[in-house]
C-alpha cells in the first residue's frame, strides 16, 4: 500500500455517514448520521461540536467514495452515484410482508448497508458484502418475485442472489430508473471486484476487519481497538508484543495510531518471512531479480515447461508494481509476492482453467458433472423443492439434472419427491429456469434425466412444454450421420437431451400399444425411491400405468434411452444398443465393480452409466464418487445441496478442463480392450508410479469459524490423496494455536501414487478442538494432473465451494517419477 491516504480509501469513515452524502443535502445526511451514531452508542457531544464532526465525516465520505470509484475504474458512473446516495426500496418476503427499507452502498464501494428498525440488530448484521453476491436479476426472476410480486411491473423488481444458503433478497424500486441503477451498479461492482488481484483482496479484507474494530468511528486506533482489530484478523498476539509494535508505530506519541502510523502497523503485520526467504534464495544478495535469475527460479523451482526469458518478461510486465524496476527488466520482492499470489503462481494449472481437452469423442468417453434430485434444497422427505436449486447446480457447471415428474392440479405436471412431504414446483417453471441458465457457464450439452410418473394426458403436457419452452435447444431427432456411437460434446454444443423411457429404438420409433411398449417399466424409478413404503406404492401401481408411455414424449428421447440393466453381454447374447443407458444404485455399482470391475470398465467405453445415491440417504448425504469414476462410470450423481468432502472432491475433479462439466477419461478407460480393474490392480499403461512431495509452509488470512469475536482458530492442515485403493492416503500437520492470520507449519509430506491419472489431492484446513469434532475452515481439491510444482499458493474454498476472498495456503510441491 502506498500511503495512509490509500489506507483510508479502503477503510472509509466507518458505518453510514449519512444517507445522501452529496452536496446540497447535508441536513438529511446529518440527521441520518446522528441516528446511526446513536445506534452505535456514540455519546452526544455539544451541538456545535457534533455538527462540525458530522460535516468533517461527510466530506471525508465523499473523498473516500471518489477514490474507491477511481480504484474500481467507475469514476463518475451514474449507477454507482445512485447506489452511494441510497434508495428507499420495498423488501418482499411474502404476499402479506412488504416493508420499506433504506439501502445504501458504503464509501468502501464493497458493502451494502440496510437500515433496520429492529432495536436488537447489531450494525454488522445490517451489512452485506459485494463478495457475498452470486448474481443480480432483473424482473420476476426469483421464486419470491414470481410468487409475491406479480402485481408490480417487472421493470421495478430485482433480486440479489447470494453465494451461500442465505435467502435471496427480493426488492421493489420506486421507479424503473432506480431499479436499473441498482441492477447495473451492483453488476459492475461485482465484475470489477472479481477482477481485483489477491493483494487488493487482502487489503480489502484487512480494512473490513479494521472497520469493525474502530468502534467510535474516528479513524484512529487506541490500544484497546488495536487488540479488537487483531481478534477480527483471527490472531492472538501476546499483549506485551502488541504493545511493543503499537509504541513503535505511534510516532506522534498520542497513544493512538492514525493515517501513516496505521499504514506502518499494516506493513509489520503483513510481512511474510517465508516469502523473504524464497526471494533471497532466488535473488542471492540482490534487492531485485534479474530476468536470468527469474528464469532459473522458474526452471529449477517452479518446473515451468515454458521457462525462458519470454515467460520471465511477461511475469515482470504483469505483476511488477514498480515502473522503475519494470523499465530495468527486474522484479522486486513486492512483484515476486504478486506473482506468487496470482493465477500464474497458483497450485492449480492455469492452462486447465480453459477447455483444453479433445471434445470430439463420444459422450461415453467423458465424466459428466451430474446432480441427484436436483430440485431439492435440503433433505428428501420434508425439504423444500425449488427452481433455484436447478440454477445453483447449472452455475456450478452441472450438465445432468434430474426431474421427478408427477401429475399436478389443473393438468400441469409438478416436480417433487413422490409420496413424501417435499414441496412441489411446476414442471414448466423448472424448464424456464433450465432454458435461462443451461449454457451460461458451459456451452456443452445438458442432459435432463426424467423420472416420469405422469398419466398419458400430463405426459403430453410435458412434451408440449418441452417443445415450446426449450425450442431449438431441445435435441428431438438424431444428428445426421451419427448412427453407430454416441455423438460428442462438440457436436451437441448448445443442446438439451432427454434421458427417459422410449418406445422402440432410435431409428424405429414405436407407438402406444406397439409390442415394444411392454418394455416400459417403473422398476428403475421404484429402485430409486428413498424408502420402502414409497417403493411399494410405486411397485403396486396397476400394470396399465406401468406400461403406458405417450408417443409425443417418447419421441423426444434420442441418445439416452433408459433401460433396465440385464448384465454384461456374454457370447451369443444381445449387447445393449449404444443409445441405451442403465441407472445403478451406489450399492449395486460397488458390487459390480467388486465382482466384474473390468467388464464394467469395458461397458462404459461405449455406453453411458448413471449412478445414484442409496435409498437410505434420506438426509441427502453423499457417497464418494471416486470409485465410480475409477470404473469409467460417467454420470455419477451427487446431492449438490449437501456440502462435504464428497462434493469437495467432485468440484475439484470438474474444475479441470475449464470447469465445462465434461472431463475426458484417461486413455485406458476409453480403450474397448482395456484390462484395467481398479479393484485388482495389475501392471498396464495406467501404472506410472510417482513420488509426490508436499511441503505445507504457511497459511494466510484464514476465516473465523466461531462467531464469538474472542474466539481465534487453532488451524491444522490435512493433505489427502483420493484415487485407486492403493493410492488413498493422508497426512496432517501439527496444530498452530491461536493464529488464523499467518500460521506457520513448514512440514513436509511424501506420498507414492501408482495411478496418477485418477488421483486428486485435497488440502483441508480445520480448527482443532480437543473436546469435539474439528470445525471446517476451508479446502481445495486439485486433480494431480492439474497440480503445479514449486512454490505455490492454494486458494481455499468455503464449505459451499465458493472462494474465500483472501484465505490461502503457501506450499512447495515436488513430483518425481
> Which residues are documented as binding site for substrate?
91-118, 499, 501, 583, 610
Ramachandran region, residue 755 (left: φ > 0; alpha: ψ -120 to 50; beta: rest)? beta
Of 803, 760, 800, the residue nearest 393 (C-alpha): 800
* Residue 7: Cβ-neighbour burial (10 angstroms; 0-12, 13-18, 19+): buried
Contact 377, 417 (CB under 8 A): no
- Cβ(236)–Cβ(230) below 8 Å: yes
Residue 718 parent element (H or E): strand 715-722
What residues have CB less than 8 Å from 685, skipping those under 6 apart?
667, 668
Catalytic residue among 140, 207, 417, 607: 417
Residue 177 backbone dihedrals phi, psi, to 5 degrees: -60, -45
Q: In the chain, what is the straight-line distance between the N-terminal and C-terminal CA atoms, in Å?
A: 43
Is the distance from CB of 665 to CB of 772 less than 8 angstroms?
no
Residue 228 CB partners (closer than 8 Å, separation 6+): 212, 213, 215, 709
Sign of CA pseudo-dihedral 326, 329, 334, 338: positive
Residue with cell 446511526: 36
Q: What distance in Å separates the CA atoms of residue 631 and residue 678, rounded to the nearest whole number? A: 7
3-class DSSP assignment, residue 253: coil
Which ranges in 214-290 belong to alpha helices (H)?
A: 223-232, 239-249, 260-269, 273-283
**SS3 state of residue 390:** helix
Assess contact for 798 and 778: CB atoms under 8 A: yes
CB 699 within 8 A of CB 740: yes
CA-CA-CA-CA torsion sign (353, 358, 362, 365): negative
The dihedral region occupied by 109, where left means phi > 0, alpha psi between -120 and 50, and beta the remainder, is left
- The two counts, helices (H) then strands (E), for the chain are 25, 30
The DSSP letter of residue 199 is: H
The residues, ordered by sequence, that sit 6+ positions from 726 with a Cβ below 8 Å of its Cβ are 681, 754, 755
Classify each residue of 435-463 as buried b or exposed e, where b means 16 or more C-beta atoms within 10 Å of its C-beta: eebbbebbbbbbbbbbbbbbeeebbbbbb
E strands present in 393-545: 400-406, 414-415, 425-426, 446-452, 496-500
CA 745 vs CA 90, 151, 340, 739: distances in Å: 50, 59, 19, 11
CB 559 within 8 A of CB 487: yes
- 363-to-563, 649, 661, 709 alpha-carbon distances in Å: 18, 22, 12, 51
The half-sphere exposure of 321 on its side-chain side, counting CA atoms within 13 A, is 12
Give all strands (DSSP E) within 106-249, no chain letters.
111-114, 127-129, 133-138, 157-162, 169-172, 220-221
Helix (H, G, I), strand (E, B) or coil at 334: helix
417 flagged as catalytic? yes
Distance CA 605, CA 363 (A): 9
d(CA 551, CA 556): 9
> Dmax of the chain from CA atoms?
99
Active site residue 731: no
Would you name the residues annotated as active-site residues? 372, 417
Amino acid at each position: 500500500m502506498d500511503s495512509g491516504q490509500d489506507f483510508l480509501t479502503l477503510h472509509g469513515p466507518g458505518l453510514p455517514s449519512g444517507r445522501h452524502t452529496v452536496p446540497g443535502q447535508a441536513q438529511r445526511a446529518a440527521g441520518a448520521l446522528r441516528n446511526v451514531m446513536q445506534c452505535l452508542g456514540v455519546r452526544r457531544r455539544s451541538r456545535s461540536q457534533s455538527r462540525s464532526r458530522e460535516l468533517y465525516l461527510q466530506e471525508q465520505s465523499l473523498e473516500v467514495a471518489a477514490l474507491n470509484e477511481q480504484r474500481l475504474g467507475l469514476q463518475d458512473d451514474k449507477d454507482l452515484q445512485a447506489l452511494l446516495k441510497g434508495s428507499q426500496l420495498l423488501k418482499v418476503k411474502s404476499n402479506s410482508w412488504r416493508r420499506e427499507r433504506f439501502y445504501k452502498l458504503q464509501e468502501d464501494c464493497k458493502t451494502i448497508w440496510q437500515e433496520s428498525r429492529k432495536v436488537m440488530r447489531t450494525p454488522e448484521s445490517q451489512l452485506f458484502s459485494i463478495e457475498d453476491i452470486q448474481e443480480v436479476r432483473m424482473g420476476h426472476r426469483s421464486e419470491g418475485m414470481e410468487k409475491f410480486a406479480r402485481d408490480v411491473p417487472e421493470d421495478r423488481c430485482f433480486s440479489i442472489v447470494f453465494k451461500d444458503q442465505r435467502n435471496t433478497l427480493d426488492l421493489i424500486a420506486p421507479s424503473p430508473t432506480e431499479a436499473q441503477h441498482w441492477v447495473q451498479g451492483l453488476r459492475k461492482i461485482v465484475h470489477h471486484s472479481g477482477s481485483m488481484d489477491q493483494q487488493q483482496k487482502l487489503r480489502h479484507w484487512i480494512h473490513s476487519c479494521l472497520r469493525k474494530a474502530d468502534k467510535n468511528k474516528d479513524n484512529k486506533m487506541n490500544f484497546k481497538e488495536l487488540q479488537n482489530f487483531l481478534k477480527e484478523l483471527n490472531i492472538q498476539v501476546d499483549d506485551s508484543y502488541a504493545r511493543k509494535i503499537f509504541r513503535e508505530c505511534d510516532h506522534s506519541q498520542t497513544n493512538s495510531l492514525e493515517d501513516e502510523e496505521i499504514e506502518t502497523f499494516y506493513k509489520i503485520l503483513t510481512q511474510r518471512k517465508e516469502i523473504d526467504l524464497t526471494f533471497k534464495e532466488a535473488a542471492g544478495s540482490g534487492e531485485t531479480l534479474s530476468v536470468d535469475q527469474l528464469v532459473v527460479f522458474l526452471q529449477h523451482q517452479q518446473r515451468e515447461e515454458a521457462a525462458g526469458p519470454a515467460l520471465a518478461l511477461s511475469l515482470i510486465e504483469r505483476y511488477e508494481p514498480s515502473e522503475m524496476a519494470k523499465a530495468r527488466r527486474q522484479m522486486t520482492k513486492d512483484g515476486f509476492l504478486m506473482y506468487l499470489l496470482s493465477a500464474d503462481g497458483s497450485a492449480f494449472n492455469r492452462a486447465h482453467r480453459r477447455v483444453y481437452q479433445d471434445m470430439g469423442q463420444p459422450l461415453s468417453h467423458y465424466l459428466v458433472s451430474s446432480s441427484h434430485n436436483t430440485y431439492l434444497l435440503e433433505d428428501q422427505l420434508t425439504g423444500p423443492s425449488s427452481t433455484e436449486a436447478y440454477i445453483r447446480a447449472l452455475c456450478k457447471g452441472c450438465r445432468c439434472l434430474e426431474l421427478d415428474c408427477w401429475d399436478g392440479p389443473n393438468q400441469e405436471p409438478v416436480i417433487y419427491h413422490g409420496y413424501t412431504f417435499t414441496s412441489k414446483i411446476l414442471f414448466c417453471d423448472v424448464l424456464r429456469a433450465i432454458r435461462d441458465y443451461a449454457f451460461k457457464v458451459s456451452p456443452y450439452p445438458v442432459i435432463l434425466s426424467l423420472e416420469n410418473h405422469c398419466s398419458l394426458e400430463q405426459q403430453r403436457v410435458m412434451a408440449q412444454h418441452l417443445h415450446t419452452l426449450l425450442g431449438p435447444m431441445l435435441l428431438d431427432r438424431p444428428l445426421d450421420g451419427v448412427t453407430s456411437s454416441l455423438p460428442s460434446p462438440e457436436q451437441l454444443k448448445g443442446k438439451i437431451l432427454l434421458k427417459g423411457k422410449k418406445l422402440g429404438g432410435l431409428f424405429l420409433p414405436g407407438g402406444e400399444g406397439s409390442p415394444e411398449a411392454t418394455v416400459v417399466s417403473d422398476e428403475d424409478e421404484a429402485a430409486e425411491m428413498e424408502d420402502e413404503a414409497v417403493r411399494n406404492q410405486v411397485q403396486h401401481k396397476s400394470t396399465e400405468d406401468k406400461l403406458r408411455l405417450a408417443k409425443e414424449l417418447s419421441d423426444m428421447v434420442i441418445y439416452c434411452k433408459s433401460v433396465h440393466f440385464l448384465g454384461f453381454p456374454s457370447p451369443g447374447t444381445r449387447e445393449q444398443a449404444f443409445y441405451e443407458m442403465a441407472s445403478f444404485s451406489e450399492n449395486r455399482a460397488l458390487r459390480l465393480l467388486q465382482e466384474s470391475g473390468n467388464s464394467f470398465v469395458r461397458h462404459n467405453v461405449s455406453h453411458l452409466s448413471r449412478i445414484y445415491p442409496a435409498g437410505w440417504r434420506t438426509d441427502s448425504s453423499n457417497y464418494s464418487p471416486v470409485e465410480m469414476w475409477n470404473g469409467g462410470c460417467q454420470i455419477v450423481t451427487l446431492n449438490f445441496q449437501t456440502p462435504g468432502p464428497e462434493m469437495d472432491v467432485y468440484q475439484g475433479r470438474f474444475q479441470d478442463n475449464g470447469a465445462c462439466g465434461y472431463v475426458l477419461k484417461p486413455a485406458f478407460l476409453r480403450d474397448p480392450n482395456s484390462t484395467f480393474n481398479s479393484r485388482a490392480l495389475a501392471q498396464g499403461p495406467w501404472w506410472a508410479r510417482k513420488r509426490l512431495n508436499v511441503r505445507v509452509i504457511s497459511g494466510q488470512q484464514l476465516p473465523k469459524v466461531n462467531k464469538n469475536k474472542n474466539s481465534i482458530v487453532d488451524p491444522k492442515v490435512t493433505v489427502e490423496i483420493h484415487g485407486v485403493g492403493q493410492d488413498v492416503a493422508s497426512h496432517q500437520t501439527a496444530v498452530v494455536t491461536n493464529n488464523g492470520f499467518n500460521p506457520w507449519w513448514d512440514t513436509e509430506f511424501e506420498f507414492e501414487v501408482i495411478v496418477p491419472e485418477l488421483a486428486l489431492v485435497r488440502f483441508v484446513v480445520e480448527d482443532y478442538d480437543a473436546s469435539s469434532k474439528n470445525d471446517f475452515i476451508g479446502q481445495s481439491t486439485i486433480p494431480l494432473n492439474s497440480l503445479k510444482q514449486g512454490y505455490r499458493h492454494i486458494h481455499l474454498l468455503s464449505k459451499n465451494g465458493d472462494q474465500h476472498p483472501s484465505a490461502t495456503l503457501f506450499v512447495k510441491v515436488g513430483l518425481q517419477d
